[in-house]
Amino acid sequence: EPEVTQTPSHQVTQMGQEVILRCVPISNHLYFYWYRQILGQKVEFLVSFYNNEISEKSEIFDDQFSVERPDGSNFTLKIRSTKLEDSAMYFCASQETDGTGELFFGEGSRLTVL
Partner 1 sequence: AQRVTQPEKLLSVFKGAPVELKCNYSYSGSPELFWYVQYSRQRLQLLLRHISRESIKGFTADLNKGETSFHLKKPFAQEEDSAMYYCALFPVEYGNKLVFGAGTILRVKS
Interacting residues with partner 1 (CB under 8 A): 3-4, 31, 33, 35, 41-45, 48, 50, 55-56, 91, 93, 98-100, 102-103, 105-108
Q: Output the smallest distance, CB 68 to partner 1, in A.
A: 19
Q: Output the smallest distance, CB 111 to partner 1, in A.
A: 17
CA dihedral 38, 84, 108, 95 (to 10 degrees): 80
Q: Output the smallest distance, CB 99 to partner 1, in A.
A: 6
Non-local CB neighbours of 68 within 8 Å, separated by 6+ positions: 75, 76, 78
CA angle 52, 22, 72 (to 5 degrees): 35
Q: Indicate the residue among 79 and 93 with the shorter CB distance to partner 1.
A: 93
